[in-house]
Amino acid sequence: MDRNQVIGFSLLAVLLIGYVMYNQHEQKVYSEKKHADSVAYAKAHPRPLIDSSKIITAANDTSAVADSATLALRSLQPPAYNGVAQTVTLENKKLSLQFSSKGAYPTAAFIKDYKTYRGKPLSLFSGKGNILSTVLPFDNGKSTADLYFSPVMRQEPNGDKTIDFTADLGGGKKVDIIYTLPADDYMMRCNIVLTGLPASALPLTWHTLVLPTEKDLPNERMSTQVYYRNKNKDHDYFTVATEEKSIDNTSNAGHWLGIRKQYFSSALISDDGFTKMESKFAYKQGDTTIAARNFASLEVPVKLAGTTGTAALRWYIGPNDYHTLRAYKIELDEMVPLGFGIMAFVKYINQWVIIPIFYFLASFVSNYAIIIMLMTIIIRLFLSFFTYKSYLSSAKMRVLKPELDELRAKIGDDQQKFGMEQMKLYRSAGVNPLGGCLPMLFQLPILLSIYYIFPSFIEFRQKSFLWADDLSTYDSILTFGFEIPFYGDHVSLFTLLMTASSLFLAIYNRNMTPQDPNNPMLKYMPYVFPIILMGVFNKMAAALTFYYTFSNLLSIAQQFIIQKYFINEKAIHAQLQENKTKPVVQSKWAAKLEEMQKLQADKAKVPPRKK
């Protein structure tokens, strides 16, 4: 039994005397002010004095004894320990946040300008499992989640809205949790102000139950990740899984911790640096109501000013819009995946080429499918020089094919000798055998850049084109109702068109490029590869498969035009024959290659030693 209970039961006999008068007054006030908070109620309606004339009536009422005991205990507890939980809404042009006065934390967040795939209001999180709380240096570590706060709303002259949650702990001690939401922004400020509660740091508990918002929950979970940034600007992330994954960043001061969904994020930021950052992240197999669960333990420093200490936080709740996140200048834009791992270099192509072109076109074109087509044309024009060089090299190889066939018939099956003679022919004719491959390699980074950025572009979300109702997810013209291994449970028409155009392009290139009869695998690879990719891209965003389809069609048209109007094989043949009469200037690379071929040929001539 603690000190408050001892004092409460000691005063019980005295309180019983005035019960009747007190009870009548209390019931009248409660009926008039049943939704008022306990602190405001106590200030507006002080408890009456005990009336000794009512002691006999009170003694004969057993329920009065019980109620009096409860009231006695409550009267000795801090006001913040008793109250009625209320829901308070704080909103601006972009967000609508619902707070509970018990705990003073947001329990639901609605992003106004967006809807779920089903067309419902988009809530990033909602429900009792969403908590932001701290442990106070009071009453053996009291959690703010267990306290009742009195909310006071106000609007600032600049249009910002503030809600100040106050919990009176008695004895001049109190805690204020103040949220400020700018008039037109996704970034909310949160200050935890301690009065009479000295502390150098506050431990925080941040629990989030992330709700599904997109069409394909498995794909949404694959894109759901925890990102974090340290004060030394190091970044890292991990993806949600059925088995709980966790980070422990206690050895390095953290700057922010973000929970990234495919197109929306929630991030807690401490500009002073979290002195502790731990996070556990998972989802339950078969649970379709929650996309992911995150349980984070943080520690934020407290700045002291006399008897008052303040822990300052910022809280981003909004879309994964690249320009929006980048504008905060704390590298939140890292949560938009532009390229990572061994392909991290493509993020610079996205940052400096793809994204600027996209937003430039979006500034005057509203149809995103047209933007994709215009982007493809611009990229193709930019790469046209390399494309021409590749096709020109292929044309040179074609006109030399009769001479190569003669060499092959003359030399027979001696591949090493044929390779050396082939290199001599190329060198005398001034042909680079890699001339057709190297220009095409310059196009590969662009293809990879698009692969990373298009499924992450929130601008494609819920934008329709032809039969695709949402360019940010796969288009489906047929659903099987069952899963086909390595393919899926539906048919994506854009993926089929991408595959068909890739096969057509492979056939067209085969007819335009001389084939090596001694390497049959190369003969079939151009046809096998698109079939393999069909299963991979069947669940990809329609914007991505449409881009590749249109890019293939442009490649076919571009190749036809170049072959028809820009490449004259008779003139090329004449030029190659003329090159043979000129002195050969051998490059270092060609000399090295010829030397390696000679060494290989000499090695093959040496008979093996007898054992």
pLDDT tens-digit profile of 424-444?
A: 777 777 777 666 666 567 778
**39 — pLDDT class (breaks 50, 70, 90):** very low
pLDDT tens-digit profile of 484-511?
A: 888 889 999 999 999 999 998 888 777 6
Sign of the Cα pseudo-torsion (534, 540, 546, 548, in order): negative
Q: Which pLDDT score, from 0 to 100, does residue 48 have?
A: 38
Residue 252: other Cβ atoms inside 10 A:
15
Q: Which pLDDT score, from 0 to 100, does residue 474 have?
A: 93
pLDDT tens-digit profile of 350-404?
A: 999 999 999 999 999 999 999 999 999 998 888 888 788 777 877 787 777 788 7
- What is residue 244's three-state secondary structure? coil
- Give the rounded percent of residues in the chain with a pLDDT score beyond 90: 45
Token readout for 140 is 């053996």
- Mean pLDDT of the 409-436 span: 72
Burial class (CB in 10 A: 0-12, 13-18, 19+), 548: buried
Query: CA–CA separation, 531 vs 42, rounded Å?
Result: 74
pLDDT tens-digit profile of 186-245?
A: 999 999 999 999 899 999 999 999 999 999 998 899 889 999 998 888 888 888 887 788
Q: Which pLDDT score, from 0 to 100, does residue 208 have?
A: 94
First-last CA distance in the chain: 95
Average pLDDT score, the chain: 81
Query: CA–CA separation, 391 vs 566, rounded Å?
Result: 10
Show the 3-state SS of 527-576.
HHHHHHHHHHHCCCCHHHHHHHHHHHHHHHHHHHHHHHHHCCHHHHHHHH
Q: Which pLDDT score, from 0 to 100, does residue 150 have?
A: 94
Enter the pTM of the model.
Answer: 0.78
Q: Which pLDDT score, from 0 to 100, does residue 400 have?
A: 79
Query: CA–CA separation, 262 vs 455, rounded Å?
Result: 9
Backbone angles phi, psi at 483, to 5 degrees: -100, 130
**58 — pLDDT class (breaks 50, 70, 90):** very low
Q: Which pLDDT score, from 0 to 100, does residue 387 have?
A: 80
What the chain holds in terms of domains, given with CATH numbers, is: 3-77 (no CATH), 87-336 (2.70.98.90), 347-580 (no CATH)
Backbone angles phi, psi at 84, to 5 degrees: -120, 125
Q: Which pLDDT score, from 0 to 100, does residue 19 have?
A: 37
Q: Which pLDDT score, from 0 to 100, does residue 151 have?
A: 95
pLDDT at 38 over 80: no
pLDDT tens-digit profile of 550-586?
A: 999 998 898 888 888 888 777 877 877 777 777 666 5
**7 — pLDDT class (breaks 50, 70, 90):** very low
Residue 32, amino acid: E
pLDDT at 54 over 70: no
Higher pLDDT, 121 or 414: 121
Q: Which pLDDT score, from 0 to 100, does residue 391 have?
A: 79
Q: Which pLDDT score, from 0 to 100, does residue 515 have?
A: 56
Q: Which of 423, 417, 421, 429 is nearest to 591 (CA)?
A: 423
pLDDT at 92 over 70: yes
- Mean pLDDT of the 305-332 span: 94
pLDDT at 529 over 50: yes
pLDDT at 600 over 80: no
Higher pLDDT, 27 or 323: 323
**521 — pLDDT class (breaks 50, 70, 90):** low
- Mean pLDDT of the 595-607 span: 63
